[in-house]
Amino acid sequence: MWEKESTVTQGASIPLVIEVVSTNWRDDYYKKFADYEEMGIPEYWITDYAALGGRNFIGNPKQPALFVCELVDVLSILSKPFSINGQQIHITVSIGITINDVSDRKNVEQLLQQAQMALSQAKQQGRSQYQFYSPKINAQLQERLSLENELRGAVERGEMVVYYQPLIDLHTRQVTALEALVRWQHPTRGLVSPAQFIPIAENNGLIVPIGEWVLRTACAQNRAWHLAGIKPIRMSVNLSARQFEEPNLVEVVTQVLEETGLPAAYLELEVTESFLMSDIQHSLKILKQLRELGVWIALDDFGTGYSSLNYLKRFPINMLKIDRSFVQDVTSNPDSAAITDAIIALAKSLQLKITAEGVETIEQLEYLQKRGCEEGQGFYFGIPAPAERTTAILKQNSQQMEEVAA
């Protein structure tokens, strides 16, 4: 995975701190970035400033009033894919900005700290974003740091729990799978939203042990349901980008399946386009190894990333999941309807299963059903629930299926 993180201070000059996570082509990338004129970046944006340490760049905007416009343009330029050694590389960009005069070198360190705070906020908003520093951001960062410290050891303290949300056959209305979703039951904060702690875990690497714990817990629970006489169904578990980069991922999945006794055919791993496209050859290798285990592979949030049809046909996947952003207004927005129809048609032509996320109304359900979508997931069918409540749902589902079969 490649990632550029930029911090900017406006005034006499603008430092950009650039971090490339993957080491495979890091030096080649820096050489590419140094040729700013070819990339279309204004010359006054980029002046090497090695005194700051690492790979830092300083510029001087000629027209501060146009700074934000230039910033958006530069961010767009840096986000474009480029080629290194014949391979296309996709990079995401986040920029933090603080407004002040940096002519006084004594203030540079403080300004960079402020810009780093703004950068952290920009990253929380999603990739390819920029954020200006403010005292409020400082307070938010302190809260984030506090949460990060409390997150360490949460698994060992038994604070993490797994909730399960059903995936439904749109034609029979039976439960065909469950998605495992991690929740943090904090001793004083209560149930912490995944939107708060997952980005922190992804940034500091805690998502790897947390993700492995979720995988093991979900597989063990699914096996327990099988042994209890409940009809076997798939268990869907999300893989983060950090997990996918781990060199022992396939070994971990193999070990979990062996330890829990869950047949591989009842495990589905969800991956996203964005991190698959960051290193296509690596992605193809890992996906192939996982499929050889017998595990299902679902491509999550399809339609929101690069959506390269050329690579889609090469990825050994079983399932496409239509992102909720298309489903939520599929009955009122012609564009969302057209995209949804196209994804369903594409999945059928490639002989892939198809699931729609975020189904919340009967109108959405009927639309998807008429278009031939096979599975649905969303609040219309059920909210994520702990294992105890999910057990009752599955028992009822198994009984209904037995009655239909009889």
Tens digit of each residue's pLDDT (9 = 90 or more) over 251-306: 999 999 999 999 999 999 999 887 887 788 889 999 999 999 999 999 987 777 65
Q: Return the biggest CA–CA distance within the chain.
A: 82
Q: Is residue 140 part of a domain?
A: no
Look at the chain and count its residues: 406
- The reply to whether 165 and 274 lie within a common domain is yes
- The reply to whether 164 and 267 lie within a common domain is yes
Using CA atoms, how far apart are residues 73 and 369, in angstroms rounded to an integer?
A: 42
Domain span at residue 110?
3-133
**Radius of gyration over alpha carbons of the chain, in Å?**
24
Q: If you write DSSP's letter for every residue of 285-344 in order, what string do you get?
A: HHHHHHHHHT-EEEEEEETSS---HHHHTTS--SEEEE-HHHHTTTTT-HHHHHHHHHHH
- The reply to whether 65 and 200 lie within a common domain is no
- The reply to whether 227 and 294 lie within a common domain is yes
Where does a domain end: 68, 99, 133?
Answer: 133
Where does a domain end: 133, 163, 183?
Answer: 133
pLDDT tens across 156-207, in order? 999 999 999 999 999 999 999 999 999 999 999 999 989 889 988 988 899 9
User: In the structure, what pLDDT confidence band is assigned to residue 122 with cuts at 50, 70 and 90?
Assistant: confident
User: Are 213 and 189 within 8 A, CB to CB?
Assistant: no
User: Are 338 and 305 within 8 A, CB to CB?
Assistant: no
The number of domains in the chain is 2
Matching residue, tokens 């940096």: 102
* pTM (predicted TM-score): 0.72
Residues 142-157, mean pLDDT to the nearest whole number: 88
First to last CA, the chain: 51
- The reply to whether 239 and 199 lie within a common domain is yes
For the purposes of burial, counting CB atoms within 10 Å of the CB of 347, is it exposed (0-12), middle (13-18) or buried (19 or more)?
Answer: buried
Q: Is residue 144 part of a domain?
A: no
Q: Is residue 117 part of a domain?
A: yes
Q: Which residue has the higher pLDDT, 357 or 61?
A: 357
User: In the structure, what pLDDT confidence band is assigned to residue 7 with cuts at 50, 70 and 90?
Assistant: very low
